Structure 1
Amino acid sequence: MIYPDSVYTARMNEQQKAWFYAEYERARKDEIAGVLFAVFLGSFGIHHFYLGRNGLGLTYLLLSWTGIPCFLGWIEAFFMPARVREYNVAIASLISSHILAGPGMPVQNGSMPVASI
Structure 2
Amino acid sequence: MTERELVLAKTGGHCAYCGCHLTLKTMQEDHVIPLRRGDKGDKSHLDVLSNKMPACRSCNYYKSDMTLDQFRERMDLMIQNLERNSTVKALLRYGKIAFTRGPVEFYFEKLQKESTHDD
TM-score scaled by structure 1? 0.27
TM-score scaled by structure 2? 0.27
More strand by share: 2
